[in-house]
Amino acid sequence: MARRVPHAQTLRLYIGGRWVEGAQGRVVELRSPATGGLLAEVAQAEPEDVRAAVVAAQEATGQAARLSVWDRARLCHRVADQIEARADELARELSEEQGKPYLSEALPEVHKTVEGFRLAAEEAKRLNGEVIPAEDSHKRVITIRQPRGVYAVITPWNFPMNIPTEYLAPALATGNTVVWKPSSYTVRCAARLVECMEAAEVPPGIVNLVYGPGSTVGHALVTHPVVVGIAVTGDANTGEVIAGEAAGKRLLLELGGNGPVVILDDANLEAAARCVSAGSFLNAGQVCSASERILVAQAVHAPFREAMVAAASAVRLGNPLDETTTMGPMNNRATAEKMDRHLQDARTKGAQVVAGGSRASGFPTDLFYEPTILDNVQADMLVFQEETFGPIVPLTEVRDDVEALELANRTSMGLVASVFTTNLRRAFFFAEGLQAGTVVVNDASTYWELHLPFGGRAGKRSGYGRLGGKHTLMEMTDLKTIAIDLHNA
């Protein structure tokens, strides 16, 4: 247990509409990845706190379900209004806590959070059922969508406001209730988002917030018998543990990626380099749809490599609150250490570092990593096989389209892939052949809009179900069939 620091802000749990200490009064420190400075002390939940939060959510299910769709939509819009009114403050705190640049990334994330609540509000109004013709002439058959009940929502630290909104806004719009466990690295963002929901007068118990390790708090949450649905964004290993613990519950899992990017010999290399740079260095590479394996045709390998070296040199690494910074620190030590391991393994097996390749010096913490270009990457290297989740561009040379497709699909992940070509036939060859839930042609693998369906391919380790717009609302509701006999009425 961390000792209490005088005058440090304490972030409390939010259960049943009240901000409360954890049952045992434990706290841990929350520090900035950019400066190492203390941001807050964080109350730690115990299993009994989780149980209390689930009870509060269960008790609120009746009220949530009785709200009309238009009432729920108005609630979502009010939450969006509160976030919008605090956008600058929220973005600066997000930048301090997560590490992403304030101007280019944190502020846009807050604006997307506003948009996410507004989108859920409007999509809920269009969540239609249907009238189904029946063989029996006396029957009239209709379908409706109904809330499921208590959802456990578990979210990561890389987009600490937008990713939670992908679940919280649809849950609110469809009449479910939530117990939310955010990442321990970004609890202040979570508390601020709940403050906005409280200020918008979301009824007590509909959203509850608990902090703590997944091994205790997360386990107690996903295994609770009252919880009927689990919504998670995280890495594949965590998702698989949760899926096992939550057997029989409704699952919506958006897990890791190891996104291949194929650069063909007829590609617009200037555009491809620009897009790969964005896909690899956005959020210091800490994105599930990041450009993680770059498969480059032999004929354009050398010029593309030089273009990527130039792109890496243009990245401005620095304090995320400095408006000239284009890349901040990595968020936490475990993620930076994984980058270290992948680079060491690649070097040992013959890859060449042609730009970057180590942690940057001269900063307050050791979490700043140089934008890195790695050449001659082979399929037996960890950087090829696993999701690195760091600011790296690993280049692999390919002979032809067939080899490119085979190598692109040589992964257990299947979230997002992209291909660069000016030939329509080749574009469709890869669009249809790449084993991913999303394939992007001639743009960054990180291309994304709030309403688009997003998720992993069946048979891969990138998750189940689809996030995005109406698709999330459909995932978080039950489809009920109602058959009415007019003859016996």
Of the listed 76, 196, 275, 288, which one is catalytic?
Answer: 288
Judge contact between 478 and 148, C-beta under 8 A. Answer: yes
How many degrees, rounded to 5, is the angle at CA 332 between CA 331 and CA 338? 110
For 50, 66, 169, 268, 402, the CA distances from 217, given in Å and listed in that order, are 7, 30, 23, 49, 46
β-pair partners for 393: 373
254 is an active site residue: yes
CA distance 19 to 53: 11
β-pair partners for 303: none
CA distance 465 to 467: 7
CA distance 301 to 412: 26
Exposed/middle/buried for residue 293 (C-beta within 10 Å: 0-12, 13-18, 19+): buried
From the CA atom positions of the chain, what is the Rg in Å? Answer: 23
Of the listed 41, 96, 166, 254, which one is catalytic?
Answer: 254
196 is an active site residue: no
Distance of CA 314 to the CA centre of its chain: 27
Judge contact between 437 and 253, C-beta under 8 A. Answer: no
Q: How many CB atoms lie within 10 A of CB 137?
A: 8
Q: Which residues are catalytic?
A: 254, 288
